[in-house]
Chains A and B, each alone.
Chain A
């Protein structure tokens, strides 16, 4: 059962797999984001209450979604590091952190730009906004921790533990709007009820969310390949490929 898993877990195989996958994902990402953003800006109707300002949703929600999704990916990788000592998982977690941090920042910034005209404030210390800010600090702490430890094995273990502890914050972010009263409104899409967003607006939103998710995979695969080369530059397969000029 674990054979395919072990095969994938080898950095050499993953390097090759990412090489094949990345260009296709990049094309898919361009199509999804192209269509999604076009529909979001030009086709989706004006909102009955928020007018045109609601169009920020097409960049705000995907960033917020990615901030959580990338963290969950890192936490899953950290589990693989702790239990199975998987080198590849450590690499994926390392390259994911800056991407996650940048999208967390984006979620906060676009939220602020949306909050000012609609709520009347750039920032309010409500549970949703605060827990998302804590997520940004966890990302930064994770990167700082990695940068401060030289021993690779210690670095992998310590940062994996931090990532797994921080996972507690994820359900807090998701359910903050239900558990406490907040300025931020409850969920529109990911809830048990049917989405409370009109299909003509939901479609571009889902395209954008999917597009940005694929974008994360493209950047993650690219950076994972670079980090594999950096870490294993002395290994025979890398040297071989370098000598043949097909890195």
Chain B
């Protein structure tokens, strides 16, 4: 290759490399700001902003959803398979909200440690399949889980 072109190629490589490193530094520095939500474990460890609004994400714990009072208010437990926090929300839930499903709630902790949400969003996983396949999969999974582990630790992972 022509030496001048080679030089230019190296220069372009260095430039892109430098920008990538800079971007890497910035993204690492702002890592906690880029995370969309805190996990229940982080809430339990007190890593969340006090008195301010924040987002918490996790799975809706099995058998934890309760309708209270007027029927519009719902209480459920949010878990990351480590810590669990109670959430209270009044309003319309998204279609995908159900037990075992990932969710992100926006709100504040009250003095009793209950997370009072003013918005509840549903997360869904990256799996797409027809209902029959899902059913068949669930059956084999249930059988396997019964054999190997009592709690089913391989439910949807939340980072």
Chain A residues with a Cβ under 8 A of chain B: 45-50, 54, 57, 79, 82-84, 117-121, 124-127, 161, 164-165, 167-168, 172, 179-183, 185-188, 196-198, 200-201
Determine whether the beta carbon of A120 is less than 8 Å from that of B121: yes
> Does B59 sit at the interface, judged by CB under 8 A?
no
Contact B5 A83 (CB under 8 A): yes
Q: Which residues of A contact B94 (CB under 8 A)?
A: 117-120
Assembled-state Cα–Cα distance A238/B104 (Å): 60
Chain B residue nearest to A160 (CB atoms) is B12
What residues of chain A lie closer than 8 Å to B31, measured between beta carbons? 180
For residue B19, give the distance in angstroms from its CB to the closest CB of chain A.
5
Task: Given contact pairs A181-B39, A201-B130, enumerate 6 new A-B contacts (beta carbons under 8 Å).
Answer: A45-B130, A49-B124, A49-B134, A124-B104, A180-B34, A197-B126
Q: Does B146 contact A (CB under 8 A)?
A: no
Give the Cβ gap from B59 to chain A, nearest Cβ, in Å.
13
Chain B residues within 8 Å of A, Cβ to Cβ: 5, 8-9, 12, 15-16, 19-20, 23, 27, 31, 34-37, 39, 57, 93-97, 104, 119-131, 133-135, 158-159
Q: Are B8 and A120 in contact (CB under 8 A)?
A: no
Q: Please tell me if the beta carbons of A120 and B120 are within 8 angstroms of each other in the complex.
A: yes
The answer to whether A197 and B12 touch across the interface, beta carbons within 8 angstroms, is: no
Residue with the greatest number of chain A CB neighbours at <10 A, chosen from B31, B94, B135, B158:
B94
Count chain B CB atoms within 10 A of each CB in A46, A47, A125 and give the residue with the most: A47
Q: Which of A49, A84, A125 has the most CB of B within 10 A?
A: A49
Could you pull out 8 A-B pairs where Cβ atoms are within 8 angstroms?
A: A48-B131, A83-B5, A120-B93, A120-B121, A121-B119, A121-B121, A181-B36, A200-B130
Q: What residue in chain B is nearest A116 (Cβ atoms)?
A: B94
Q: Inside 8 A of A180's CB, which chain B residues have their CB? A: 31, 34-36, 159
Question: Are A183's CB and B36's CB within 8 A?
Answer: yes
Q: How many A-B residue pairs have CB under 8 A?
A: 119
Known: A165-B16, A201-B129. Contact between A48 and B34, CB under 8 A? no
Decide if A46 touches B130 in the complex (CB within 8 Å): yes
Q: What residues of B have a CB within 8 angstroms of the CB of A167 in the complex?
A: 16
Is A196 a contact partner of B104 (Cβ separation < 8 A)? Answer: no
**Known interface pairs A46-B131, A50-B124, A172-B23; A161-B93 also in contact (CB < 8 Å):** no
Which residues of chain B come closer than 8 Å to A201, judged between CB atoms? Answer: 128-130
Is there an interface contact between B122 and A118, defined as CB atoms closer than 8 Å? yes
Cα A198 to Cα B135 with chains together (Å) = 13
Chain B residues in 8 Å Cβ range of A200: 130
| Pair B95/A48 contact, Cβ less than 8 Å | no
**Which A residues touch B128, using CB under 8 A?**
47, 50, 54, 57, 188, 196-198, 201
Q: Is B8 a contact partner of A181 (Cβ separation < 8 A)?
A: no
Using Cβ atoms and an 8 Å threshold, which residues of chain B touch A121?
119, 121
In the docked arrangement, what's the CA distance between A167 and B134, Å? Answer: 39
- B57 (CB) vs chain A CBs: closest residue: A181
B37 with A181: CB separation less than 8 A? yes
CB distance from B4 to the nearest CB of A (A): 9
CA distance A57 to B134 in the complex (A): 19
B126 and A187 contact, CB distance less than 8 A = yes
* Min CB–CB distance A60 → chain B (angstroms): 12
A contact residues around B19 at 8 Å (CB): 165, 168
Cβ of B12 and Cβ of A79 under 8 Å apart? yes
Known A120-B94, A120-B121, A168-B23; judge A182-B36 contact (CB<8 A).
yes
